């Protein structure tokens, strides 16, 4: 299966790599926001996109287009992401183009699901939290990335 | 050596300045800091505006203590490398982030004994002294990957959703 794995630089990327055994058997392409990360996933295809935050709407739109371009090229059958903005872009594009998507909310979100995660619930097929107290009918808890 | 790291997204001058001022009191311990778009000129510590990933790991590996913002990337790296870590959460009231999510994260990770936390500059001094006195600080260790349960669940969802 063609899997597109997306995470912005920093903690999101570190968490995505800790989930690698869940999808490495597939044909994986990565997207992140730092070009130099390609060397941390040698042997896999890698694309970099700009980062954006919800505070800059124009940049968010540009990010959406950049992620859409990679999706068009890679034609994934599944998108998996640990956030943040580039992952949300992927999940939204996935919904529009009929690509299944899994969102894993960052372990940093201890009190409530992240803002991006709350939007992702509307578009993704599965949403995970890493804290049991945040699980509900739409959000699954099955452990976390730091065991 | 203490390695100070603040991530590559926003400056964190409150921490850099505090570490610069505390450095002369740390006797034999040198301080190296990764800074970002800082306006503060440090006098007592070695600062770098940019470190390549390999330079970054090299300082991280050599350090006996990591002092950082409460960013997940740094916390997880410290846990994997079994380095004691003292975090100073960024706060919205100082314009260091948009909200206080780092304070919430720090509280929970402190409760689970993954990190030491200084919620203020005053507390940073106390915690540093305390940590430098204990030579063999017990730290929580984590493995290379996420919990087996989470990996299996995602693995199966990839095939069945």
Domains and CATH numbers, chain B: 2-160 (3.40.50.2000)
pLDDT over threshold 90, residue A22: yes
**Taking residues B33-55, what's their average pLDDT?**
92
Predicted interface score ipTM higher than 0.90: yes
The closest CB to that of A142, out of B71, B105, B149, belongs to B149
- Say which DSSP state B92 is in: G
The closest CB to that of B108, out of A40, A78, A110, belongs to A110
**What is d(CA B107, CA A113) in angstroms, rounded to the nearest whole number?**
17
Burial status of residue A54 (CB atoms within 10 A of its CB: 0-12, 13-18, 19 or more): middle
Question: What was the pLDDT predicted at B133?
Answer: 84
Question: Strands, E, within chain B: which ranges?
Answer: 2-5, 31-34, 46-48, 65-68, 85-87, 116-117
Would you place residue B123 in the very low, low, confident or very high pLDDT band (cuts 50, 70, 90)? very high
In terms of CATH, what superfamily is A2-141?
Glycogen Phosphorylase B; (3.40.50.2000)
Helix (H, G, I), strand (E, B) or coil at A119: helix
Sort out which chain B residues have CB atoms less than 8 A from A143's CB and list them: 146-150, 153
Question: Strands, E, within chain A: which ranges?
Answer: 2-6, 27-32, 45-48, 78-81, 100-104, 126-129, 140-141
**What is d(CA A47, CA A33) in angstroms, rounded to the nearest whole number?**
8
Using CA of residue B106, residue B111, residue B115, residue B119, what is the dihedral sign? positive
Residue A58 near chain B (CB below 8 Å): no
Question: What was the pLDDT predicted at B139?
Answer: 74
pTM of the complete model beyond 0.90: yes
CB-based contact A102 B105, cutoff 8 Å: no
The closest CB to that of B147, out of A11, A36, A143, belongs to A143
B7-21 per-residue burial string, b: 16 or more CB within 10 A, e: under 16: bbbebbbbbbbbbbb
DSSP result, B16-30: HHHHHHHGGGSTT--
Question: What was the pLDDT predicted at B54?
Answer: 86
CB-based contact A106 B8, cutoff 8 Å: no
Contact A27, A78 (CB under 8 A): no
Selected for mutation to probe chain B from A108, A115, A131 (highest B CB count within 10 Å) is A108
């Amino acid at each position: 299966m063609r899997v597109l794995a997306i995470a912005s630089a920093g903690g999101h990327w570190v968490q995505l790599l800790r989930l690698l055994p869940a999808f490495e058997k597939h044909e994986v392409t990565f997207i992140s926001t730092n070009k130099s990360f390609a060397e941390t996933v040698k042997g896999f295809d890698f694309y970099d996109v700009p980062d954006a935050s919800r505070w800059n709407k124009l940049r968010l739109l540009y990010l959406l287009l950049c992620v859409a371009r990679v999706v068009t090229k890679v034609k994934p059958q599944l998108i998996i992401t640990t956030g943040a903005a580039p992952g949300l872009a992927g999940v939204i594009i996935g919904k529009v183009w009929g690509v299944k998507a899994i969102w894993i909310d960052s372990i940093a979100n201890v009190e409530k699901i992240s803002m991006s995660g709350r939007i992702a619930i509307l578009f993704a097929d599965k949403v995970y939290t890493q804290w049991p107290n945040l699980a509900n009918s739409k959000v699954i808890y099955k452990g976390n990335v730091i065991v | 050596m203490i390695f100070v790291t603040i991530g590559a997204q926003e400056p964190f001058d409150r921490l850099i300045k505090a570490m610069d001022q505390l450095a002369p009191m740390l006797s034999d311990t040198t301080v190296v800091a990764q800074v970002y778009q800082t306006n503060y000129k440090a006098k007592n510590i070695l600062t770098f505006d940019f470190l390549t990933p390999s330079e970054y790991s090299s300082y991280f590996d050599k350090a006996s203590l990591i002092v950082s913002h409460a960013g997940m990337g740094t916390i997880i790296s410290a846990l994997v490398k079994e380095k004691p870590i003292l975090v100073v959460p960024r706060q919205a009231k100082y314009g260091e982030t948009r909200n206080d999510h780092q304070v919430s994260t720090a509280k929970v990770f402190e409760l689970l004994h993954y990190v030491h936390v200084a919620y203020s500059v005053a507390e940073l001094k106390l915690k540093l002294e305390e940590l430098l006195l204990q030579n063999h600080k017990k730290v929580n260790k984590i493995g290379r990957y996420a919990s087996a349960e989470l990996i299996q669940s995602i693995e199966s969802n990839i095939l069945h959703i």
